[in-house]
Structures are given as C-alpha cells and as structure tokens.
Amino acid sequence: MRTDFQKHNPPMLPKYNRVLLKLSGESLMGDKSFGLDPKMLEAYATDIKAITDVGVQVAVVIGGGNIYRGMNEAETGIERAQGDYMGMLATVINGMALQAALEKIGVKTRLQSAIKMEQIAEPYIRRRAIRHLEKGRVVIFGAGTGNPYFTTDTAGSLRAIEINASVILKGTRVDGIYTADPEKDPTAQRYDKLSFNEVINQGLKVMDMTAFTLCQENNLPIIVFDIHKPGNLLDVVVGKKVGTIVS
C-alpha cells in the first residue's frame, strides 16, 4: 500500500539508462594543491550512489592531473610517451580511491585497467564491463586507452561508445559551456544547447578534438555541468535542464 508521501512524490525515472561520467583528476584535489581530498571523494561517491539508486548504470573515467601531468616534456625533461604512461598510472590511483569511497557507502564496483595490473584491477574487457553494468555495478575505467598521446577525454569517449552509453556526462567546475571563460570574463554567456558543428565553428573547447570527433561521428551527446553542486548529477540523469548539452 502506497503512503501519501509516495503518491505525491513518485520515484524519479532516469532519462538516461547508461552513462559515462568523466571527471578530471584536478577536481579530486578540492582545496588542496596536490593529491586527493577525502571530502571530494565522499561527495562524488554520494552523487554517484544517488543515480545508481534510481536505476542508472554508471561507468566512470577519471583523469590523473592531481597526481601527475605528463604533457610538458620541456618542463619535466621526461619524454612525452613516458610521461603519458606515468599519467595513466595516476588515473588508476584515482580510480582505486573512488572505488574505496563508493564501496564504503555500499556501492558495488569494478575497476578495470587498460594496462594489466592483475593484483589491483581487472583488465579492460568490453563484454565483461557491460555485464558488470547490467548487474548494477559501477565500472571505473583506469589507465586511459592504454596508449600514450591520448587524453582521458579520448578514453572517456572511446569507452562510452564501446559500452553503448546513452550520454557522456562531463563534470567540471563551471555550470556549462560559455561564450568565453566565465572565470575570466564576467560577460560570458552560457549556452543551454549546442550542436557539434556549432562547437567546432565557434572554437569552443569542450574536449580535445579526437575525443570530440569520436562523439560527433557516433552521435553520442555530451552534457557539460557543474559536478561540485550537490544533486546536479541526479538532476542531469532525470532530464532536468542542467548544464549545456552538445548533440
């Protein structure tokens, strides 16, 4: 028998059944200048649990910039390929941290790595990843694509396509895509919706071009939203107007 509360507050139905959540490594630093902030991990885990509770299948790709960025060879003295592999290892560390935070609050997870490290992560196997998602487990993809010269944005786009995700949710510290950097230009205007061609023609930076082209060619929409606002992730997956959608 339904209570009055249930009658007036029906369960939220997700608009997207399977999502790929892309998080930056820097976002895990919180107010720190380096490393991991436990409060940020707890906040992300809570938000992810909220969308699994309404039946959304969730995969996650996290960057490694809070630990190591291997892009600037001139500054580090480390060749690009070597630096990129170091960055991939950093993403696995972040994936392990998020896995621990999720399991602490009762969310079943699997960490899969594009680089073999059997003691701490499963190897990435597409069919196995999809099966985990079907069983309600959050799948965290670590080590990027397993290849240097590709960003974690590209890894996120590739994995989203491979697992047949409905959408990529790109969590950032701003609430969408703007005409200019809103942190530098107070007159910048936010877009509610854009086409892939509009993003290209206006030179807006959503992802690197390899990642963006993958999404465009496979008709995979991207939603850019503020991940730091509690409840935003849930609002996105139930179809509320949050952030900017590129489709």
What's the pLDDT tens digit per position in 205-216? Answer: 889 999 999 999
The pLDDT of residue 222: 97
Average pLDDT over residues 20-30: 90
Other Cβ atoms within 10 Å of 217 Cβ, number: 11
The pLDDT of residue 9: 56
CA contacts within 13 A on the Cβ side of 210:
10
The answer on pLDDT for 137 being more than 90 is yes
Confidence of residue 22 (pLDDT cuts 50, 70, 90): very high
Strands, DSSP E only, in the chain?
18-23, 57-62, 109-113, 122-123, 138-142, 167-172, 177-178, 190-191, 193-194, 222-226, 244-246
Look up the CATH number of the domain holding residue 142.
3.40.1160.10
The pLDDT of residue 72: 64
Question: Of 63-67, 93-97, 146-150, 161-165, where does mean pLDDT reach its minimum?
Answer: 63-67
The pLDDT of residue 70: 59
Q: Are 171 and 233 in contact (CB under 8 A)?
A: yes
- Containing domain of residue 212, as a range? 4-246
Which whole-number Å values give the CA distances from 43 to 37, 39, 86, in the listed order? Answer: 10, 6, 27
Which DSSP string corresponds to 18-37? EEEEEE-SGGGGTTSSSS--
d(CA 44, CA 145) in angstroms, rounded, equals: 23
The β-bridge partners of 61 are 22, 141
The pLDDT of residue 225: 96
The answer on pLDDT for 192 being more than 60 is yes
Total count of domains within the chain: 1
DSSP H or E stretch at residue 211? helix 209-217
The pLDDT of residue 6: 45
d(CA 226, CA 47) in angstroms, rounded, equals: 12
The answer on pLDDT for 5 being more than 50 is no
d(CA 93, CA 7) in angstroms, rounded, equals: 44
Longest alpha-carbon distance in the chain: 68
Which DSSP string corresponds to 36-51? --HHHHHHHHHHHHHH
